[in-house]
Amino acid sequence: MDDSRSEDSRSDDSRSDEGRRPVTTVPPAERGATRIADRVVAKIASQAAREALEALPRDAMPPHASASIHRRTARIRVGLELDYPSDIGARCAAVRRRVAERVEALAGMDVPEVAVLVERLYLAHVPGAAQGRTL
């Protein structure tokens, strides 16, 4: 009896392989590519800029970004509004670093350029100082 069972199981195995296509390996160059849209990279950059700034002036718009992608390289422009007085250069440098890190980590792209545009400055709350937009 044991002999007949082992023969049956072998014949079942061979039947289950019938109709299956042989596994072929496609070379990596012929498999295709994943394309990440510019707007996806721009959203990653906007979020990263928000993270880098930590706090925004009360009436400020959140940072916005645009991205230009060529192959695996992204060039990014970030527009933001800051409070004044503050160390604007240091805050822009922090935004550049954070945006480049996050786009490289999440999208797997090289980021040789992050242009930060300060579109508006807001006076920080200082007793006796005028309030509102300065530019």
The pLDDT tens digits of the residues spanning 122-131 come to 987 655 555 5
Per-residue model confidence (pLDDT) at position 124: 78
Residue 41 CA to chain centroid, in angstroms? 5
DSSP of 12-30, one letter per residue? HHHHHHTTPPPP-PPPGGG
Tell which wins on pLDDT, 13 or 25: 25
At 131 the pLDDT is 55
- Helix ranges, 1-135 (H): 2-17, 38-53, 88-107
The verdict on residue 53 lying in a domain is: yes
Question: Would 78 be classed as within a structural domain?
Answer: yes
Instruction: Give the CATH number of the domain where residue 116 resides.
Output: 3.30.300.20
| Count of the separate structural domains present in the chain | 1
Q: Is residue 21 part of a domain?
A: no
Asked whether residue 88 is assigned to any structural domain, the reply reads yes
Q: Where are the alpha helices (DSSP H) in 23-87?
A: 38-53
Portion of the chain with pLDDT greater than 90, in percent: 56
Residue range(s) defining the domain that contains residue 63 = 34-123
Domain assignment present for 75:
yes
* Residue 23: inside a domain: no
